[in-house]
Homo-oligomer: A and B are copies of this chain.
Amino acid sequence: MPTPKSLLERAFSLLSVFTVDRSAVTLSELSRHSGLPLSTTHRLVASLVELRALDRAPDGRYRVGLRLLELGALSPGSLDLRDRALPFLEDLYEVTRHNVQLAVRDGTEVVYVERISARDAVNVVTRVGSRMPTHCTGVGLVLLAAAPVAVQEAVLAAPLKRFTPRTIASAPELREALARVRRDGYAISDRQIEMITYSVAAPVRGPDGDVVAAVSVVVPTGTRTDTVVPAVRTCGLAISRALGWASH
């Protein structure tokens, strides 16, 4: 948070203090974590509460306000995409009984817009609204493979975060993986996040044929791919069709 100057920047650096494991904070915590002077924080927070962007709990702590949930629900993918995709995601879940996810790309990252979580499934690292790098997730590889070259270069140029020994961590490896995704039409991210799971992802296309999202399912290491892959690919095609895409 290097000295934000504009008011909006300040306001957002306040909002950025909230994370999954820090969802209710006091005023002073907000001040400390955002780096803003206390009195400034106080004033801004008051405005944000006024606008319902923040909520003040009876105990004095602040939480993210429902206004933001409302606005977030309008973000691309949360509207058309989400509604149309849901039934097909449910089908995919029905078949696989593992975590099913729908994600879109935002810059060099992926953002999950929908998730169906199996009650007793492996992994729960992702949630709606959360971000992950593109290089190490199934959805990421699918979305990156279809992204503008500039974005791909940006990812390739930056250091690739490693989660496990199997994580793609070098540019050549990543290039090869992307080529494979383009050739095959789907991606497998094998034990890149955790050693006990791999994910299979397929593209979702809009009416013009460009990739607007990716579906994936996360299954335990050892699951046979020959049943999962067709299911995911079919799901991707089905959602694409529901979005108005007609294969050439």
Contacts and interface: CB of A to CB of B under 8 A. Distances in A.
A164 interface: no
Q: Is the interface of A mostly helix, strand, loop or mixed?
A: mixed
Interface residues of A, number: 52
Given A48-B8, A87-B119, A128 B73 contact: yes
A73 B130 contact: yes
A52 B15 CA distance: 13
Contacts of A90: 119
A95 interface: no
B48 A76 contact: no
Contacts of A67: 12
Contacts of A128: 69, 73, 78
Contacts of A79: 20, 23
B129 A74 contact: yes
Contact of A6 (B18, B19, B47, B106): B47
A171 to B, nearest CB: 26
Count of identical protomers in the assembly? 2
Interface in A1-35: 6-9, 11-12, 15, 18-20, 23
A49 to B, nearest CB: 11
Interface stretch (A58-66, A133-141, A224-232): A58-66
A190 B83 CA distance: 26
Contacts of A8: 7-8, 11, 44, 47-48, 51
A53 interface: yes
Interface string A154-187: 0000000000000000000000000000000000
Contacts of A83: 117, 127
Nearest to A93: B90
Given A8-B11, A70-B72, A72-B72, 8 more contacts: A15-B71, A18-B71, A23-B80, A66-B75, A69-B77, A72-B73, A73-B129, A74-B129
